[in-house]
Chain A
């Protein structure tokens, strides 16, 4: 985007030619790593100050610790309960992913359908937009009243949260083909199906992946909230259990929440890597 602004792009281009991908990678990675390290360090110091001079295993110690348990304690709690935590994460992630996949397929299908005729789009698009306004996760308890099966509920909520961004983005993508390319297709007497498979659908892929990145988090949140509504295993269930177990389990609670955050990042990262493999022609992936 900023090509003519200053001479900087030239120099970055020069470094791109140098055969040191690791060095380039390191230059991007070290500042955030430094900051994360600083945050953890400050966190450790604050939490040590909070429990300063208090006997371990006394009530006031636990009370202070529940405000901010030290990172080392959190890590220890995670390692001590690793099998329970990892199992919960697996259950939540698998359900979220199944829902995510189903929602993506439905969303893409809906977008294809709405791209066919204006009247279909007119009749449904506004509701699809309105469905974004509906607190779908707030519907989770109501859906739980209807779908009693735990796994099915998680998958349904995750799918519902995925389909919306996919439909809206893909519809935009199918519509935003280059007019010149479209004219070229017409010049070659391409039929409707060919226009779709060779032009419109490839054009929609970057839009699809944008939506999938949003939906990766959305489906995970959906699965967790569905678990809050009543389930037997998963991250949401564990959070509820630990939350009521107030002062004693704060280090476990923190470990679990950090795990949830990491699961979200891994999901997001997975979609981003897939995007790079499947849609490598996007400008932002070009070597700088």
Chain B
């Protein structure tokens, strides 16, 4: 802290200090929590046994032993999540475009799309598995349903919340509808689209995993629930950690894409 109060040193040095100030507190928290966990302080606080909450070292050991199962499950689940997210988001965006062009469709379908957000889609897994079987297509359909409605709502909001001054300017330049669409509407919808996508990344991973809790042919979710039932908690924790990392990875990927495609809207970003 004292370093920061010095008169502004060379640029590189001050950015290092700033970076440290951001990175250090969460890092210390992580080390403290991990230490409490490893040395079984957490266990005595929560009154649980190590077989219920395995130690970090045990989890790592278990991951080493069963790396092949984890790898197969990861591929299986990641494909479901990514495909579902892509299909659901693309369909949602198209639906939002339809709403912009046909107001009647919006009046009829928008309330339904908003309501879909309130539905626990997970409950639909049994129906989906009757339609699409016990393999990946079921999970893809579920993730598609989960990511579709948020994208419709977000993208519609983005496509319609235009800056009035920009619209006036386009009129002054006698821009036609197509030009207004491609040069104004589409770009100004992108921040909203990316917001929905970012929410969708974690939702899709979680959705795919939870949908695998119902009878599934494979995947991390199946691995988690099976190993809970057979009492191998360390392996189940591996599954949870993998899903967390994958969710974060997808989120970062989308954030990076946003940084390149929407460089003008970086103000509202989460500190990641």
Residues of chain A having any CB pair with chain B under 8 Å: 1-5, 28, 31-32, 34-36, 66-67, 119, 122-127, 129-130, 132-139, 141-142, 144-146, 216-217, 220-221, 224-225, 228-229, 235, 239-240, 242-243, 246, 250, 253-254, 256-257, 260-261, 264-265, 267-269
Contacts and interface: CB of A to CB of B under 8 A. Distances in A.
Interface stretch (B6-14, B60-68, B86-94, B123-131): B123-131
Nearest to A246: B130
Contacts of A137: 206, 209-210
Interface stretch (B189-197, B232-240, B259-267): B232-240
Contacts of A224: 120, 122-123
B111 to A, nearest CB: 4
Nearest to A122: B25
Contacts of A31: 104, 107-108, 111
A7 B180 CA distance: 19
Most buried by A among B29, B120, B162, B247: B120
15 contacts: A2-B160, A31-B104, A34-B108, A124-B29, A134-B244, A135-B210, A137-B206, A138-B243, A139-B240, A141-B213, A142-B228, A228-B214, A229-B225, A243-B215, A264-B118
Best-buried of B112, B119, B162 by chain A (most CB within 10 Å):
B119
A267 B126 contact: no
Where chain A touches its partner, the secondary structure class is: helix
A220 B117 CA distance: 12
B224 interface: yes
Interface string B13-38: 00000000110011011100000000
B272 interface: yes
A5 B122 CA distance: 41
B270 interface: yes
A146 B52 contact: yes
Contact of A119 (B25, B52, B126, B224): B25
Interface string B135-175: 00000000000000000000000001110100110000000
A67 B131 contact: yes
B161 A2 contact: yes
Nearest to A219: B120
B108 A264 contact: no
Contacts of B110: 32
A161 to B, nearest CB: 10
Nearest to A256: B123
A10 to B, nearest CB: 15
A243 B125 CA distance: 10
A89 to B, nearest CB: 11
B240 A217 contact: no
A126 B271 contact: yes
A66 to B, nearest CB: 6
B74 interface: no
A98 B214 CA distance: 26
Given A217-B118, A220-B120, A260-B120, A142 B236 contact: yes
B109 A135 contact: no
B15 to A, nearest CB: 17
A133 B248 contact: yes
